[in-house]
Amino acid sequence: MNLPVQHRPILLALALAALCSAALFVRQAEGRPAPSPLPDEALSQAMHQMEQALEALGKGVKADNRDAQLAELAKFQSAVMTAKEKTPESAEKVEEKKRAAFVADYRKTLVEALQFSCAAETAILDGKFKEADTLVRNKLGGLKSTGHGKFKQDRGGK
């Protein structure tokens, strides 16, 4: 390309400016923390499934709805199995050194929820419906509050 001599300095300046901004962009991208991932859809769905099952179970177990309530408990348990494999979004805000312990605590809390749900299942199978109701209302309800207090990120209104 044959550029008039008087235009060459302009072209050189433009090329230099482009190089500088590219270098700046690369530096910024390296220094910047990774963009936060989107909230885990599978975790959110599992929590909604737990909510629906617990709502149904909250109506109480009797001889005539025993089978339906056992099916709700199974839905609850399978949702807990999914949720406990996930990492809550709130873990991102935890100091790196403490993050593994935080995620383990999250998982153990859900394991506890699973254990209470199994105890409720045993109670239903033994015909101890009142005992099952108490486990659902007090133990699972209590774990929900503790779990959310510790691990659920406040996303403004949720």
Residue nearest ligand HEM (C-beta atom)? 147
Please state, in angstroms and rounded to a whole number, the distance separating the CA atoms of residues 40 and 85: 11
Q: Rounded to the nearest whole angstrom, what is the least distance from the CB of residue 51 to ligand HEM in the complex?
A: 4
- What would the two tokens of residue 98 be? 């403490």
Q: Rounded to the nearest whole angstrom, what is the least distance from the CB of residue 107 to ligand HEM in the complex?
A: 8
- What would the two tokens of residue 139 be? 């133990």
Which residue is listed with tokens 């179970």?
A: 57
Which residue is listed with tokens 């133990």?
A: 139
In the complex with ligand HEM, the residue whose CB is nearer, 14 or 74, is 74
Which residue is listed with tokens 């309530």?
A: 69
In the complex with ligand HEM, the residue whose CB is nearer, 127 or 141, is 141
Q: Rounded to the nearest whole angstrom, what is the least distance from the CB of residue 133 to ligand HEM in the complex?
A: 15
Give me the residues that bind ligand HEM (CB under 6 A), please: 39-40, 43-44, 47-48, 50-51, 54, 88-89, 106, 109-110, 113, 140, 143-144, 147-148, 151-152, 158
- What would the two tokens of residue 66 be? 């025993």
Please state, in angstroms and rounded to a whole number, the distance separating the CA atoms of residues 144 and 117: 13
